[in-house]
Chain A
């Protein structure tokens, strides 16, 4: 082969070798561990911070057990505490981290309970125009024990 071609190919080979060396340094070690992705990413995603605790941790002994016992026996037991009271993980870890008070306006209850045509018929809904004289719902209904009839 002509000398100039040999030089060209040597140059190319050098470039490729440098590339391989750089690649082995820069590609993270855990890449390819479980599949074509960076294995460390799995544990990173598992360790993200949690913001919602769940109602059972609200009803712990020494915390809000009394209201929990009322709530868990009535219709709103399917409504998570934090849906109205906001994410509470920080509060369960440190009770001094208080939450903003729950929104007890008519509009907030209406998010679920105002009559909407797309809602299933058997779901408890009221016509906002005629029911409740524009008062806040909590005036008559206890949010933790709503079905007093």
Chain B
């Protein structure tokens, strides 16, 4: 066959480029599947066996703020910035005056409740007052996971929603997407950040720092797969509620004693 040098070069280049491209594409498709078949050793913790849940009993919270304080110490969250992985809110419902039937509720959370709360409304003016601890709800249908554009946040098989700090690009779409205000921007890391239910502790059999610090048992944590766990028993028996259930996020923080005023 008589082919010119030019034609030979053209065909040669096309063959080389085609082979390299094809090989790369196929290899990138295979390597991921191989990894999925052989997950690395779990080091004694099998995430398929657990499904974590959290219970908050607002009737027991005394607003001492030890939970928010312990969380910041455990997880190195800055104390001098207004960022919180968990916080306590105070609701004070004022007595209705003769003029109006509308309820007036005063809500506050000074420094997340870490320094406690001052009483600056006299008792005569209040009908109802209570504290509500708040935390990331680790939703089963998390809007924050849905809106991440790169796959930097995800729900683990044991039900914990986590952030990959090495992959997040810091676009803050997840912060906009969370209806509960649980996420914040970590200026030091340049990424989004939030409560992890102390994943580094619960996978070793410990409790999250906030649950351990709570002196009254207002915060409880446990395995929903375990019939004997405290949280499972409470959820199955008590009157419980969720925050913003109408949004369909399927939160996994279950509240006992959740008042209608709670936002």
Contact = CB atoms under 8 A, between A and B. Distances in A.
B62 A112 contact: yes
Contact of B65 (A36, A111, A119): A111
Contacts of A95: none
Given A14-B17, A17-B17, A116-B116, 18 more contacts: A17-B21, A24-B27, A33-B35, A33-B36, A36-B154, A38-B167, A41-B164, A45-B196, A52-B206, A52-B213, A83-B66, A112-B62, A117-B92, A117-B129, A118-B129, A118-B131, A119-B62, A120-B60
A24 B24 contact: yes
Interface stretch (A64-72, A74-82, A134-142): A74-82
A61 interface: no
B20 interface: yes
Contact of B167 (A32, A41, A80, A111): A41
16 contacts: A27-B28, A32-B36, A33-B39, A35-B154, A39-B39, A45-B162, A50-B201, A50-B204, A51-B73, A54-B206, A78-B217, A82-B212, A110-B116, A112-B64, A116-B63, A116-B116
Contacts of A45: 162, 196, 199-200
A26 to B, nearest CB: 11
Contact of B206 (A21, A50, A78, A120): A50
Contacts of B245: none
Interface of A: 14, 17, 20-21, 23-24, 27-39, 41-52, 54, 76, 78-80, 82-83, 86-87, 110-112, 116-120, 123
B166 A48 contact: no
Nearest to A46: B203
Interface in B141-174: 151-154, 156-157, 162, 164-167
Given A80-B213, A83-B215, A120 B59 contact: yes
A118 B166 contact: no
Closest 7 CB pairs of A and B: A118-B129, A41-B164, A48-B200, A37-B154, A24-B28, A36-B151, A79-B215
Contact of B20 (A21, A28, A87, A116): A21
B32 interface: yes
B213 A21 contact: no
Nearest to B118: A116
Contacts of B31: 29
B1 interface: no
A75 to B, nearest CB: 10
Contacts of B24: 20-21, 24
A50 B31 CA distance: 34
B35 A29 contact: yes
Interface of B: 17, 20-21, 24-25, 27-28, 31-32, 35-36, 39-40, 43, 45, 47, 59-60, 62-66, 70, 73-74, 90-92, 116-117, 119, 121, 123, 126, 129-131, 151-154, 156-157, 162, 164-167, 196, 199-201, 203-204, 206-207, 209, 212-213, 215-217
Contact of A34 (B36, B63, B91): B36
A111 B69 CA distance: 12
A80 B65 CA distance: 14
A126 to B, nearest CB: 13
Contact of A123 (B62, B91, B126): B62
A138 B217 CA distance: 24
Contacts of B156: 34, 42
B152 A47 contact: no
Given A37-B151, A48-B200, A118-B117, A87 B74 contact: yes
A32 B215 CA distance: 41
B21 A120 contact: no
A83 B213 contact: yes
B64 A111 contact: yes
A70 B183 CA distance: 41
